[in-house]
Copies of this chain bind each other. A is one copy, B any other.
């Protein structure tokens, strides 16, 4: 089913409002989810709305949070999200980072007591609008095993680096630090297909191509897949995200991160509060004039885009390009939703007395 951006946006705002969010928080939360759907990252858009609703029903999400800075210097801060939606906590933290960068050149905020913040790119791109470089990362429910381990100790712990350019669109590196995202496994599960070796291991830590292995105690693998191909590097990157987001802020880290799915209870021996994020912003003109930087970004992008390719039909893809193309297309033609998602959304709408989605 194809739904227009504006229809899906109002629908999503109405659901968040029905959960008790202020008008401002409902608008913002919907904006983060719709941006994900527009950019073609279907796994992090409205398909997750039911997940937030279920966590709220379990009282694990507070829709009227008191967002506050609990500790700070001129350019650093720790924010407590008061168990709020990550969709409003992370924008608050990013605003603090940008304000500090405006005054002092850079700003860095570690966040505790939050929940899933949507796509990292949404938050990092806020800095780009101000001619800054944006950084955003978060830890997440443990699904990934470190190299040599059979335990799930890390989330897919995504990270985003966002750089403004001139005549070209910004370069947006927005990536999970695992070899494959969980959404890709779900696609293979639904299609009854095997997945490539190097994405997952089974409960014993043996390589497998069965996409259902994750549900029977298996784990996703870090970027690099195995030791020979650098999985210890993917583990190191994921550890970095976990430490900056949670050990630094006082959130839960590693296997203590509370699960996103409401049917699993959080660990009963927490080492912090909620999940953690880390966001930052640096002013370009803290290093060189913005116009110069953008001119060289354009030259960088042009050189990489026009490089010799292996397959004449497959150009080099600049990070962020596919998402931008999806956004342009979906703004015109609407956002495609699979039947199962529409059914879930309308079930929630029915319970909340919100107008149903119709094609």
Q: Which residue numbers of A lie inside 8 Å of B, CB to CB?
A: 71-78, 103-106, 108, 110, 133, 146-151, 153, 161, 163, 171, 173, 175-177, 179-180, 196, 198-199, 201, 204-206, 223-225, 228-230, 232-237, 239-240, 242-244, 247-250, 253-255, 271-272, 282-284, 286-288, 292-293, 296-297, 299-300, 303-304, 307-311, 314-317, 319
A243 x B179 contact (CB < 8 A): no
Give every chain B residue within 8 A of A283 (Cβ-Cβ): 73, 76
B230 x A179 contact (CB < 8 A): yes
Q: Can you tell how many copies of this chain the complex includes?
A: 2
Give every chain B residue within 8 A of A206 (Cβ-Cβ): 310
Contact A300 B106, CB 8 Å, known A76-B283, A148-B316, A288-B71 = no
B287 x A110 contact (CB < 8 A): yes
The smallest C-beta distance from A323 to any residue of chain B, in angstroms, reads 12
Picked from B106, B239, B288, B308, the residue with its CB within 8 Å of the CB of A319 is B239
Give every chain B residue within 8 A of A249 (Cβ-Cβ): 287-288
Shortest Cβ distance from A162 into B: residue: B240
Contact A287 B243, CB 8 Å, known A104-B104, A229-B198, A310-B204 = no
A178 to B223, CA, bound (A): 11
Q: A78-B287, A171-B243 are in contact. List 18 more A-B contacts (CB 8 A).
A: A72-B286, A73-B286, A74-B103, A74-B104, A75-B105, A76-B282, A76-B287, A108-B286, A146-B307, A146-B316, A148-B311, A149-B304, A149-B310, A149-B316, A175-B233, A175-B237, A179-B224, A224-B225
Give every chain B residue within 8 A of A204 (Cβ-Cβ): 310
A271 to B300, CA, bound (A): 10
- 21 inter-chain pairs at a CB distance below 8 angstroms, sorted by A residue, are A73-B106, A73-B286, A75-B75, A76-B105, A76-B283, A110-B287, A147-B316, A148-B314, A148-B317, A150-B308, A153-B307, A175-B237, A196-B229, A205-B309, A206-B310, A223-B224, A229-B229, A232-B319, A236-B319, A248-B293, A272-B296
